[in-house]
Amino acid sequence: MMVEPQREGELKPGLGAPLLEVLVERRGQPTIVRLASGNDLIVYDVVWGRDLGDVWEHVTANASPPMPDREIETFWMSDVVSIVDPDTRRVLAEQTADPGAR
């Protein structure tokens, strides 16, 4: 998928958009975000953006509404390996991660 770096103006979908769509569809449901580092995050909701010049989205998860039992997480979509349903362990989406890319 070819993506232009983010420019001033309207936020455009980046390289992580297909996986972000899955997270948005699951809003409110626990979802495992598996990172290239081997860490798994439990995500309930996401907000994202792209900095000027970036092709990947940065994400803040579990911030709205704030819940005492949920950690607010931040990550780059370039670091995501897969999105997993924690109940069925089914992989809902996956990609080849590009850790450190922005």
Residues of the chain with pLDDT under 70: 1
Contact, 45 vs 54, CB < 8 A? no
Pairing of strands 91-94, 73-76: unpaired
Q: What confidence score (pLDDT) does residue 1 get?
A: 66
Question: For the chain, which domains are there?
Answer: 17-90 (2.30.30)
The residue length of the chain stands at: 102
pTM above threshold 0.85:
yes
